[in-house]
Homo-oligomer: A and B are copies of this chain.
Amino acid sequence: MINPFDDIYFMKRALQEAQLAFEKNEVPIGAVIVMNNQIIARAHNLTETLNDVTAHAEMQAFTAAADFLGGKYLKECTLYVTLEPCQMCAGASYWTQIGKIVYGASEEKRGFLVMNTTLHPKTKVIGGVLEEDCSKLLTRFFIEKRNLN
């Protein structure tokens, strides 16, 4: 039997969040947090809207998921995020003890991999899910931004 609720399914939901960010003139990054095949938190980058560098999609999703669950730890959860997390978000994920992180596009300059950020030892990582779609949205955003200036 096929499982329609696979990583691609949930990454598409994260991409919908990224699209919402795009429409607000925010760097288009989206995230969802999933537990038992259910989305328990959705968020998109709001750093410009909120004037706050800590308002990355992942940070808001961690806060929302913990609020939903009534507990700080996300051991049974998976974070889907359209761009590889930065060291702040990866550092936050360490404290949540999240079970899995699935990201789309790589961030070769400021991503947690090149920055050598330590994840929680129990956190699994999968990269490159719908990488092209996630990347394309970001590229389109920056091209449009550049053309406006």
Q: How many copies does the complex hold?
A: 2
Complex interface: chain B residues within 8 A of A91 (CB): 86-91, 115, 117
Q: Is A20 in the interface zone, CB < 8 Å from B?
A: no
Q: Is A10 in the interface zone, CB < 8 Å from B?
A: no
Contact (Cβ within 8 A) A87 B117: yes
Interface flags, A80-96, vs B, CB<8A=1, else 0: 00000011111110111
Q: Interface size class for chain A?
A: 20 to 34
Chain A residues numbered 114-144 whose CB sits less than 8 Å from any CB in chain B: 115-118
Partner of A54, one of B48, B92, B117: B92
Q: List 21 A-B contacts (CB under 8 A).
A: A51-B66, A51-B67, A51-B70, A51-B71, A52-B63, A52-B66, A53-B62, A53-B73, A53-B92, A53-B96, A54-B54, A54-B59, A87-B87, A87-B88, A87-B90, A88-B88, A88-B91, A88-B94, A89-B91, A115-B117, A115-B118
The interface of chain A, by Cβ under 8 A from chain B, is 47-48, 51-54, 59, 62-63, 66-67, 70-73, 86-92, 94-96, 115-118
